[in-house]
Structure 1
Amino acid sequence: MAQFTVNAQRFDPYKNFKFRVKWDGKYVAGISKVGGLKRTTEVVKHREGGDPSSSHKSPGRTEYEAISLERGVTHDTEFEKWANKVWHFTAGLGSETSLKDFRKDILIEVYNEAGQLAFTYKVFRCWVSEYQALSDLDANANAVAIQHIKLENEGWERDVEVPEPSEPSFTVPAG
């Protein structure tokens, strides 16, 4: 079993606004929102013949929910290039899908308020099931245009090799 050291000075939970996403060994620019990591395990109910008044429960199949990523529209084409590996309309008959490399493992890194890496999740065998190239445009709004991808995945795990950061402390000068 892995041994963890506990930062006895930290009582506050980590915030949800400092994070980065990485795939193909590079950080993806401008991601402003990452959907939650959620898994659900089906419940299999069964009864014993000698005990007809109650049922037992066992775990069944586990499903991992899709993860959505959002970012402001820029000239960076990473979302579009990955989405086109799943379906590229103009590629020609028989080559619309890149079966060789349409799946990627991604990393979701969460940082503390000081910008130190707090923990990382590895998400396995992701592929783009939904791509929105451009959000609604509205001349009366004051907002950023958003791109969106939805990633199907086959599971995730926390990277236990990432240690808890030793958080900085500052001394305030007297006077």
Structure 2
Amino acid sequence: MAQFSVNAQRFDPYKNFKFRVKWDGRYVAGVSKCSSLKRSTEVVEHRDGGDPSTSRKSPGRTKYEAVTLERGVTHDVVFEQWANKVWNFGSGLGKEVSLKDFRKDLIIEVYNEAGQLALAYKIYRAWVSEFQALPDLDANANAVAIQHIKLENEGWERDYEVTEPSEPGFVEP
């Protein structure tokens, strides 16, 4: 059975510049870039002995690509605190890794042009595999200092409880 859109007037796809990232129940301030959510499934080829010389294909293991988040450098330390749970140099023997809570679930929310929640994706069991505290610094540059974290994860899924919003319209006089 075909699913029909609640909002029959919307023909345009959602834009990629209105989004927010949430973990530990709070929105993360200043995230300016989020890499794509991508998964790939390996192909397992096999052939029966009595079959002609063509292969059959079936799905194998599914891999989820790491997600990278970027934001401007500020005094907010949430990127660094999470990265330190995976490896905290100088913390002492037996305290370098926080096995209790180095993994987090994330939510990425996408909004329409009117600022209404349109899509959400849940990312499961993510942990920081790469942390860049500062970019290359250049006295001749005219740019914002950006930090980033690379998040390995064990899968993601769309949150189907987030439904298409009814977009507002202007009342004509």
- TM bucket (normalised to shorter chain) is over 0.9
Aligned to 1:108: 108
User: Matched residue of 2:42: which SS?
Assistant: strand
Larger deviation: 163-172 or 99-108? 163-172
Aligned to 2:132: 132
Q: Tell me, yes or no, if the aligned pair for 2:6 and 2:166 is still in contact at 8 Å.
A: no
Describe how 1:48-63 pairs up with structure 2 within 5 A: 48-63=48-63
Q: Does 1:28 pair with 2:15?
A: no
Kindly report the root-mean-square deviation, in angstroms, between the aligned alpha carbons of the 2 structures: 1.3
Using the TM superposition, give the Cα deviation of residue 93 of structure 1 relative to its aligned residue in structure 2, in angstroms: 1.2
Structure 1 residue ranges without an equivalent (≥5):
none
1:17-50, Cα deviation, whole Å (9 max, x unpaired): 0000000000000000000000010000000111
Taking the aligned partners of 2:44 and 2:98, their CA distance within structure 1 comes to 37
Aligned to 1:47: 47
Identity of aligned residues (%): 79
Structure 2 residue ranges without an equivalent (≥5):
none
User: Matched residue of 1:51: which SS?
Assistant: coil
User: Matched residue of 1:83: which SS?
Assistant: helix
Using the TM superposition, give the Cα deviation of residue 90 of structure 1 relative to its aligned residue in structure 2, in angstroms: 1.4
Taking the aligned partners of 2:109 and 2:4, their CA distance within structure 1 comes to 18
1:84-142, Cα deviation, whole Å (9 max, x unpaired): 00000011012100001000000000000000000100000000000000011111111
Describe how 1:1-175 pairs up with structure 2 within 5 A: 5-173=5-173
Using the TM superposition, give the Cα deviation of residue 163 of structure 1 relative to its aligned residue in structure 2, in angstroms: 1.1
- Runs (4+) off by over 2 Å: 3-6
Code of the residue aligned with 2:166 in structure 1: it is S
Taking the aligned partners of 1:90 and 1:28, their CA distance within structure 2 comes to 27
